[in-house]
């Protein structure tokens, strides 16, 4: 929905005055609350009879193991594109087949995307090997594709205040504070119920990636704004965040992302705002203020400590502070 709104407003540029475009954007924000708009997938559908039986078993096993719906969609898309392009039974696929396929993606996909597709293919073929569908994994011979990873900068203090000031109602400010306080994922917020929050202990019971439960916490700002938002609601749903129009229902993932995107546009921070950026900001600030990395790992729900260590990069400001504190 965020991409749709951006493209739609861009196409109106020059046809309407800035004031008219602002009115259209505001109306679009309100109207889109009750809808999920996704771009049509124009990929060629792979005939079901061309897909090997082991692929179907693999996808079922991933679902049983708790892979997220979005990851399942990604794996399905990438693997079906690969199997259709190679056009061979799995047991006859060679390392050169995979290399030629990946080489054909150069110029069409970024190096990062190509490497992600390599990882998906490797994961599938490794599973096939362990399940004795193939004698060895031909993708194991292919090295990772190097790419320049752009560091994602968290919101600084001024940007966070600009985001807060850009909120136009209690639902928006409560959503921002909730994301920041809990560090939750957008998929976790979308299924959250009122009963999952205990104001007496400030605990928030989250159910998220990998079908795992964890507990996060509300700070004073998040608790205050959330309770204030709830007092203004006229619905009888048990969703923590819901639509503003009848029939009332929980905000879905795309709708939440659209709300956050719209706040970012109004804030003037000069870059896209999305839920994971707020989560990134929470993690970075927690590390900067001395939270132990293992505690942060538990708070964020990371399976591997290496994922959490992304936020533990030493900044020059940290070095300067430590120098002034310890080198006297």
pLDDT digits (tens, 9 = 90+) for 267-279: 999 999 999 999 9
What does the pLDDT read at residue 119?
95
Q: What is the mean pLDDT of residues 43-54?
A: 66
**Res 21 pLDDT > 90:** no
**Res 65 pLDDT > 60:** yes
Please report which helix (H) or strand (E) contains residue 54, including its range.
helix 53-64
pLDDT confidence tier of residue 113, bands split at 50, 70 and 90: very high
CA dist 67 and 59 (Å) reads 9
**Res 61 pLDDT > 70:** yes
Helical pair 253-267 and 170-182, crossing angle rounded to 10 deg: 100
Q: Would you tell me how many other CB atoms lie within 10 Å of the CB of residue 130?
A: 10
What does the pLDDT read at residue 182?
95
What per-residue string of b and e applies to 223-258 under the rule 16 or more CB within 10 Å gives b?
bebbeebeeeeeeeeebbbbbeeeeeebbbbbbbbb
What does the pLDDT read at residue 287?
87
Q: Mention every residue, 6+ apart, whose C-beta is less than 8 A from residue 23.
A: none
Q: Which domains does the chain have, with CATH numbers?
A: 2-29 (no CATH), 48-141 (1.10.150.130), 157-319 (1.10.443.10)
Q: Which residue has the higher pLDDT, 205 or 42?
A: 205
Which residues form the catalytic set?
Answer: 185, 209, 276, 279, 302, 311
pLDDT confidence tier of residue 76, bands split at 50, 70 and 90: very high
Residues 275 and 186: beta-carbon distance below 8 Å: yes
pLDDT confidence tier of residue 219, bands split at 50, 70 and 90: very high
What does the pLDDT read at residue 4?
61
What does the pLDDT read at residue 44?
46
39-53, 101-115, 130-144: which has the minimum mean pLDDT?
A: 39-53
**Res 206 pLDDT > 70:** yes
CA dist 236 and 244 (Å) reads 12
What does the pLDDT read at residue 303?
84
83-87, 301-305, 310-314: which has the minimum mean pLDDT?
A: 310-314
Q: Would you tell me how many other CB atoms lie within 10 Å of the CB of residue 59?
A: 18
pLDDT confidence tier of residue 320, bands split at 50, 70 and 90: low
Residues 259 and 252: beta-carbon distance below 8 Å: no
Residues 242 and 229: beta-carbon distance below 8 Å: no
What does the pLDDT read at residue 75?
95
Which is nearest to 267 in space by CA: 193, 185, 172?
Answer: 172
Which residue has tokens 């011979």?
Answer: 141
135-139, 168-172, 291-295: which has the minimum mean pLDDT?
A: 291-295
What does the pLDDT read at residue 183?
94
């Amino acid at each position: 929905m965020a991409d749709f709104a951006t493209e739609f407003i861009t196409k109106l540029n020059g046809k309407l005055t800035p004031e008219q475009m602002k009115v259209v954007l505001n109306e679009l924000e309100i109207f889109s609350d009750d809808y999920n708009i996704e771009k049509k997938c124009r990929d060629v559908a792979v005939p079901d009879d061309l897909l090997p039986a082991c692929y179907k078993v693999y996808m079922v096993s991933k679902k049983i193991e708790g892979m997220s719906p979005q990851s399942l969609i990604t794996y399905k898309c990438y693997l079906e594109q690969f199997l259709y392009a190679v056009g061979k039974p799995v047991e006859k696929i060679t390392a050169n087949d995979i290399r030629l396929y990946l080489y054909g993606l150069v110029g069409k996909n970024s190096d990062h995307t190509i490497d992600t597709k390599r990882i998906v293919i490797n994961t599938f073929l490794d599973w096939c090997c362990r399940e004795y569908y193939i004698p060895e994994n031909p993708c194991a011979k292919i090295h990772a594709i190097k790419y320049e990873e752009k560091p994602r900068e968290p919101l600084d203090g001024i940007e966070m205040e600009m985001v807060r000031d850009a909120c136009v109602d209690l639902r928006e400010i409560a959503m921002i504070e909730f994301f920041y306080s809990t560090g939750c994922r957008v998929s976790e917020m979308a299924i959250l119920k009122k009963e999952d929050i205990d104001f007496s202990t400030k605990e928030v019971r989250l159910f998220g990636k990998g079908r795992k439960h964890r507990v996060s916490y509300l700070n004073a700002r998040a608790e205050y704004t959330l309770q204030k938002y709830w007092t203004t609601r006229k619905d009888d749903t048990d969703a923590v965040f819901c639509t503003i129009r009848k029939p009332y229902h929980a905000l879905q993932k795309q709708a939440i992302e659209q709300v956050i995107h719209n706040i970012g546009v109004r804030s003037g921070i000069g870059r896209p705002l999305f839920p994971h950026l707020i989560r990134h900001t929470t993690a970075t600030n927690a590390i900067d203020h001395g939270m132990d990395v293992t505690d942060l790992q538990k708070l964020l729900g990371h399976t591997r400590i290496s994922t959490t260590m992304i936020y533990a990069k030493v900044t020059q400001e940290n070095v300067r502070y430590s120098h002034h504190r310890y080198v006297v």
